[in-house]
Structure 1
Amino acid sequence: MNDSHVNDDPASSATVPVAQSSDACDKSSRLRWTAYLWDTLDKSPEEQRFMFKLDAAILTMGSLGYFIKNFDQININNAFVSGMKEDLGLNGNELNYMQTCWTVGYVIGQIPSNLLLTRIRPSLWIPSCEVTWSVLTILMATCSSVQQIYVLRFFIGLAESTFYPGMQYIIGSWYRKSELGKRSCIFHASSALGSMFSAYLMAAVYHLDGVSGFKGWQWLFIINTVISLPIALSGFFFLPDVPEITRAWYFTPDEIVLAQKRMQADGRANRAPYTLSKVKKIFSSWHIYLLTLLYILYINGGVAGQPAFAIWLKQQGYTVAQINLYPTLTTIVQIITTIIYAWTSDIVLRGERWPPILFSGVMIIIVHTSLTIWDIPTAWKWACFILSGCSGGISGLIYAWMHEICAEDNEERALVAASMNEVASTVLAWLPLLIWRQVDAPEYPRGYPTSIGIAVAMMVTAMAIRHLQRRDVARRSGLQLHTYTKSYTKSDLPSPPLIKSQTTISATQQPKPTLKAPNSSTISRYGSFNPPTASTDPPH
Structure 2
Amino acid sequence: MEKPAVEMAEDLHKVSTMWEKDLEAKNPTIFKGELADDPDAGLSEEEKAKIDRRLLRKLDLRLVPWLSLLYLMSFLDRTNIGNAKIDGLQEDLNMTSTEYNNTLTIFFVSYAVFEPLTNVLLKKLRPSVFIPIIMVLWGLCMTFMGFVHNYSGLMAARWFLGLCEAGLFPGIGYYLSCWYRRAEFGIRMAIFFSAAALAGSFGGLLAAAIAQMDGIGGKHGWCWIFILEGLATIVVGVASFWMVHDFPDEAKFLSEADKRRVLRRLAADQQSSAEHEEFKMDYFWASVKDWKTYTSAVIYMGCCGPLYAFSLFVPTIINELVCYSAIKAQLLSVPPYAAGAVATILIGWIADRTRQRGLCNIFVSLFGIVGFSMLLGAESPGARYAGTFLGAMGIYPAIANTIVWAGNNTEGVYKRGVTIGFVIGWGNLNGVVASNIYRGEDKPRFFPGHGTVLAYLVLFELGGSLVQYILLRRENAKRRRGERDYLVEGLDERQRDLLGDKRPDFIYTL
Aligned mates of 2:434, 2:229 — CA distance in 1: 28
TM-score normalized by the length of structure 1: 0.78
Amino acid at match of 2:256: P
Describe how 1:355-374 pairs up with structure 2 within 5 A.
355-374=359-378
Aligned mates of 1:446, 1:140 — CA distance in 2: 29
Aligned length: 455
Query: Are the aligned partners of 1:22 and 1:44 in contact in 2 as well (CA < 8 Å)?
Result: no
Aligned mates of 2:482, 2:115 — CA distance in 1: 36
Amino acid at match of 1:474: A
| 1:200 and 2:205 aligned | yes
Q: Match of 1:143, SS?
A: coil
Closer, same or farther: CA 476–275 of 1 in aligned 2, 3 Å:
farther
Counterpart for residue 62 of structure 2 = 57
Counterpart for residue 335 of structure 2 = 329
Counterpart for residue 490 of structure 1 = none
Aligned mates of 2:146, 2:478 — CA distance in 1: 57
Describe how 1:67-82 pairs up with structure 2 within 5 A.
67-82=72-87
| 1:387 and 2:387 aligned | no
Counterpart for residue 239 of structure 1 = 244
Closer, same or farther: CA 83–22 of 1 in aligned 2, 3 Å:
farther
Aligned mates of 2:432, 2:52 — CA distance in 1: 44
Larger radius of gyration: 1
**Which is further off, 62-71 or 200-209?**
200-209
Aligned mates of 1:390, 1:431 — CA distance in 2: 18
Describe how 1:172-211 pairs up with structure 2 within 5 A.
172-211=177-216
Q: Match of 1:142, SS?
A: coil
Closer, same or farther: CA 73–276 of 1 in aligned 2, 3 Å:
closer
Aligned with residue 474 of structure 2, among 471, 477, 481: 471
Counterpart for residue 284 of structure 1 = 289
Aligned mates of 2:146, 2:382 — CA distance in 1: 37
**Which is further off, 97-106 or 275-284?**
275-284
Aligned with residue 107 of structure 1, among 97, 112, 116: 112
| 1:342 and 2:348 aligned | yes
1:94 deviation in Å? 2.5
Aligned mates of 1:486, 1:195 — CA distance in 2: 53
Closer, same or farther: CA 259–127 of 1 in aligned 2, 3 Å:
same
Amino acid at match of 1:358: I
Counterpart for residue 416 of structure 2 = 413
Closer, same or farther: CA 297–339 of 1 in aligned 2, 3 Å:
same
1:431 deviation in Å? 5.0
Counterpart for residue 377 of structure 1 = 380
Task: Identify unmatched segments of 5+ residues in structure 2.
Answer: 1-36, 491-504
| 1:398 and 2:402 aligned | yes
Query: Are the aligned partners of 2:370 and 2:391 in contact in 1 as well (CA < 8 Å)?
Result: no
Aligned mates of 1:147, 1:264 — CA distance in 2: 51
**Which is further off, 463-472 or 475-484?**
475-484
Task: Identify unmatched segments of 5+ residues in structure 1.
Answer: 1-17, 29-41, 488-522, 529-540
Counterpart for residue 37 of structure 1 = none
**Which is further off, 206-215 or 74-83?**
206-215
Aligned with residue 462 of structure 1, among 465, 483, 490: 465
Query: Are the aligned partners of 1:282 and 1:412 in contact in 2 as well (CA < 8 Å)?
Result: yes
Counterpart for residue 22 of structure 2 = none
**Which is further off, 108-117 or 311-320?**
311-320
Query: Are the aligned partners of 1:133 and 1:159 in contact in 2 as well (CA < 8 Å)?
Result: yes
**Which is further off, 222-231 or 155-164?**
222-231
Aligned mates of 2:421, 2:243 — CA distance in 1: 23
Closer, same or farther: CA 250–486 of 1 in aligned 2, 3 Å:
closer
Query: Are the aligned partners of 1:333 and 1:386 in contact in 2 as well (CA < 8 Å)?
Result: yes
Amino acid at match of 1:158: L
Deviation by residue 1:225-244 (Cα, 9 ceiling, x = unmatched): 23212211122222222224
Aligned mates of 1:75, 1:100 — CA distance in 2: 14
Counterpart for residue 514 of structure 1 = none
1:203 deviation in Å? 1.0
Aligned with residue 166 of structure 1, among 164, 171, 194: 171
1:194 deviation in Å? 1.5
Q: Match of 1:251, SS?
A: coil
Q: Share of identical aligned residues, percent?
A: 22
Counterpart for residue 325 of structure 2 = 319
| 1:150 and 2:150 aligned | no
Deviation by residue 1:385-443 (Cα, 9 ceiling, x = unmatched): 23211122221111111111002x2211101111111111222214542x333332342
Aligned mates of 2:48, 2:221 — CA distance in 1: 50
Query: Are the aligned partners of 2:306 and 2:434 in contact in 1 as well (CA < 8 Å)?
Result: no
Counterpart for residue 296 of structure 1 = 301
1:184 deviation in Å? 0.5
1:69 deviation in Å? 0.4
Aligned mates of 1:105, 1:93 — CA distance in 2: 19
Question: Could you say which structure has the higher helix fraction?
Answer: 2
